[in-house]
Amino acid sequence: MKIMLRAFALSLFALTIGCVVIPDTFDANINITIRHVEEQADGLLDFVAGESDSLEGEAKANGTSYLQRTIDFMSPVQVVYAAEESTTTSPRMKQIAESMKKRFPKVEAIKKTGAVGESNRGMLELVKADLITDPEKKKELQSILDAENKDRKALYEEVARLNKDQNMTVATVEKVYANKRIERADKGELFQTPVAGAEFDKFKTSKVGKALGDNCKAATWVKVP
């Protein structure tokens, strides 16, 4: 009887081990890091626009629901990475954000001209130069655009550097910020849709993507409907 019970216990243990799904920690790492960068982008863009006094959202552990804390407890890999990611704001990021905040009204103004749009790489681009006929105004516009893009490039590089252990690339950070700016764009503003692929497929199902209808094409300059 003892032998049978022991055999049953061993069989049950083997079955349990066999059913355990080993998570792909690399993919989990990347996905969690991207979500963190997205949340951080929201906080930083709020700060730049004067809508917040901090660079990151406050949805941290204190505001987490009991259910979410339970899920986190059952997912130790995610908890570890989340703890590591909570420190990914640097003095350099704050310095860049402060510079962008001071320039924000001017950036908004040149976007309202209809000549400047948000590219799918998170950069400002002079799309319709013919709309600005005054040489002095065009020179001023280009100066604002260049200064803003310099800060944005430095910001994306810093975010990627801070998350290099999670294999975050500058290109991915650029896409995150580009998508966030599309979400915040005002009606009539120019933006470039994502390139063909998963990002574009996701964009098509968004509120803006659906509103564009037949005009929703990959890597195309359009106006926010």
The burial class, CB within 10 Å (0-12 / 13-18 / 19+), for 141 is buried
Question: What distance in Å separates the CA atoms of residue 164 and residue 168, rounded to the nearest whole number?
Answer: 5
Extents of the domains making up the chain: 25-85, 91-223
pLDDT tens readout for residues 57-75 = 433 433 444 344 444 444 4
116-141: average pLDDT: 97
pLDDT tens readout for residues 166-211 = 889 999 999 999 999 999 999 999 999 999 999 999 999 999 999 9
Is 87 a residue whose pLDDT tops 80?
no
Is 224 a residue whose pLDDT tops 90?
yes
* CB atoms inside a 10 Å sphere around CB 66: 7
> Reduced to 3 states, what is the DSSP secondary structure of residue 42?
helix
- Gap between the terminal Cα atoms of the chain: 75
Residue 161: partners with Cβ closer than 8 Å, 6 or more residues away: none
Model confidence, pTM: 0.76
Q: What is the pLDDT of residue 55?
A: 80
Question: What distance in Å separates the CA atoms of residue 145 and residue 116, rounded to the nearest whole number?
Answer: 9
Residue 144: partners with Cβ closer than 8 Å, 6 or more residues away: 103, 106, 107, 110
Q: How confident is the model at residue 33 (pLDDT cuts 50, 70, 90)?
A: confident
pLDDT tens readout for residues 22-32 = 344 445 555 77
